[in-house]
């Protein structure tokens, strides 16, 4: 199953339409989508504006592939669960977000084993070809933990307060 | 040995989504404390112990009236809980929390979101005067006068 999530606040119809176009030629794949306040109402897969945390976590765990915007919630969850994640940055010039921090974030997270960044529909289709048709065995990453120095700093700060 | 003293109380507060996800990853630092949680999505109450959760109005599109309403609610929550420490990862709800907390002599921590990899967030810059501990999660963004870098949640 493929899980498409664009966060529960702003819509991201450019990504939803890319998935929909792909899905028309790949009907054998089940797709579940959380698409926010979207104008897409004739999609070829099931979708909802937003999910409860339980529903979200369950769908995330069942998914073989996650498709998303460059949202930290999705990125952290995908790293925690070691799930393949395909991300498309939102752009300000298309009115998709307030600033272009998603472009910067995408750059910094593109070196994670499980994360693939795409910037347009052509790259999206190529990435889908690779990710869906090959069984992906992601090497477990050892970078999941919170920094000890950060935790110690916070602990010391609270003790001293 | 008998431990004497009252547990410190910590309020963990942020907007929903990625900010919240990052905030919860700092929880292990507050193991010995009474923890309270507040965010802008009511259904997140499922994720924390019951009786510890407070829902706040959302202002994700930075509408002025929504922001004002959110600020008032954050202020009332701080009066109600009177925590020893407030920690936030952002965004507007976290800014308001530190702004009021500082005036109430509550200790404050700003941990700027890891999403801000090329510059500290706008609210992260504005919050500096109200943050006792002002942190970025990217080493290359740390400066001598702050924000400081001590690692990240990933």
Residue B32 scores a pLDDT above 60 = yes
Nearest to B107 among A53, A104, A161 (CB): A161
Contact A46, A63 (CB under 8 A): no
Is residue A47 within a helix (H) or strand (E), and if so which, with residue range? strand A46-48
Query: CB pairs below 8 Å between A and B: how many?
Result: 115
* Cβ <8 Å between A72 and B43: no
Nearest to B8 among A101, A151, A158 (CB): A158
**Residue ranges of domains in chain B:** 9-149
Domain that holds residue A79: 2-160
Shortest distance, CA A9 to any CA of chain B (angstroms): 8
What confidence tens digit (pLDDT) does each residue in A30-41 have? 999 999 989 988
- Among B66, B68, B100, B65, smallest CA distance to B81 is for B100
What confidence tens digit (pLDDT) does each residue in A100-117 have? 889 999 999 998 889 999
In the sheet with A85-87, reading across from the earlier edge strand, the strands are A46-48, A31-34, A2-5, A65-68, A85-87, A115-117
- Among B5, B153, B13, smallest CA distance to B83 is for B13
User: pLDDT tens, position by position, for chain A (161 residues)?
Assistant: 999 999 877 899 999 999 999 999 999 999 999 999 899 888 999 999 989 999 999 999 999 999 999 999 999 999 988 899 999 999 999 999 888 889 999 999 998 889 999 999 999 999 999 888 765 666 666 656 899 999 999 999 999 97
Residue identified by tokens 């942190």 is: B135
The total domain count for chain A is 1
Question: What global pTM score does this model have?
Answer: 0.92
In chain B, the residue whose alpha carbon lies closest to the alpha carbon of A97 is: B61
Q: Which pLDDT score is estimated for A10?
A: 84
Top residue of A9, A148, A149 to mutate, by most chain B CBs within 10 Å, is A9
Q: CATH number, domain at A132?
A: 3.40.50.2000
CATH number of the B9-149 domain: 3.40.50.2000
Contact A29, A80 (CB under 8 A): no
- d(C-alpha A20, C-alpha A84), whole Å: 19
> Quick check: helix, strand or coil at residue A72?
helix
Chain B interface with A: residues with Cβ < 8 Å = 8, 10, 16-22, 25-26, 28-30, 33, 41, 43-44, 46-47, 60, 62, 84-85, 87, 107, 109, 113-118, 121, 132-133, 135, 138, 150-154
* Contact residues for A137 (Cβ-Cβ < 8 A; gap 6+): none
Residue identified by tokens 């991201």 is: A12
Token representation of residue A30: 């089940």
Averaged confidence pLDDT in chain B:
94
């Amino acid at each position: 199953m493929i899980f498409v999530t664009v966060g529960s606040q702003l819509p991201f119809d450019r990504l939803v339409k890319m998935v929909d176009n792909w899905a028309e030629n790949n009907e054998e794949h089940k797709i579940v989508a959380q698409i926010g306040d979207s104008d897409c109402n004739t999609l070829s897969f099931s979708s909802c504006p937003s999910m409860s945390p339980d529903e979200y976590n369950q769908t995330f765990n069942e998914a073989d592939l996650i498709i998303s915007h460059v949202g930290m919630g999705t990125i952290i969850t995908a790293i925690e669960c070691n799930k393949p994640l395909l991300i498309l940055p939102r752009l300000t010039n298309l009115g998709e977000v307030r600033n272009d921090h998603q472009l910067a974030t995408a750059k910094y997270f593109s070196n994670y084993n499980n994360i693939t960044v795409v910037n347009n529909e052509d790259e999206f289709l190529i990435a889908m070809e690779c990710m869906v048709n090959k069984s992906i065995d992601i090497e477990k990453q050892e970078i999941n933990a919170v920094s000890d120095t950060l935790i110690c700093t916070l602990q010391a700060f609270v003790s001293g307060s | 040995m008998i431990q004497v003293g009252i547990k410190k109380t910590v309020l963990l507060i942020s907007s929903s989504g990625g900010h919240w996800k990052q905030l919860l990853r700092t929880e292990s630092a507050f193991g010995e404390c009474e923890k309270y949680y507040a965010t802008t999505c009511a259904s997140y109450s499922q994720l924390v112990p019951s009786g510890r959760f407070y829902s706040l109005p959302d202002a994700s599109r930075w509408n002025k009236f929504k922001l004002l309403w959110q600020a008032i609610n954050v202020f009332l929550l701080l009066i109600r809980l009177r925590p020893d420490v407030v920690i936030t990862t952002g965004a507007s709800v976290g800014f308001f929390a530190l702004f009021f907390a500082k005036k109430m002599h509550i200790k404050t921590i700003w941990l700027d979101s890891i999403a801000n990899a090329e510059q500290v967030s706008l609210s992260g810059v504005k919050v500096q005067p109200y943050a006792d501990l002002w942190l970025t999660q990217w080493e290359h963004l740390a400066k001598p006068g702050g924000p400081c870098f001590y690692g990240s949640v990933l």
